[in-house]
Amino acid sequence: MLWLPLAMTLGLVLLSFVQRVQNNPVLVWSFWGSAVLLVVWQASLFRRSKALGRSFRTELRPQHYIQALVHLSVYAYWGWYWR
């Protein structure tokens, strides 16, 4: 189940190539630095889970649905009025 965070990290790296981000060198390095730290963290979690013989699970709860909808609505609002 560690493929999902890795895919999101790849998405962060891809976002660093957007022109709006590329216009600011500090922002580019911030994106890349956070992506490197995330990959290192995910690799350590993967190694630890293999060493202990455990796995990670995702358990969805109703609270998570509400939180996801609130985040989605806030991001949609920001995206709409960011022009």
pLDDT tens-digit readout, 19-59: 999 999 999 999 999 999 999 999 998 899 888 888 877 77
Residues with Cβ < 8 Å from 34, sequence gap 6 or more?
A: 12
Where in the chain are the domains?
A: 3-81
Burial class (CB in 10 A: 0-12, 13-18, 19+), 23: exposed
What is the reported pTM?
A: 0.68
CB 16 within 8 A of CB 35: yes
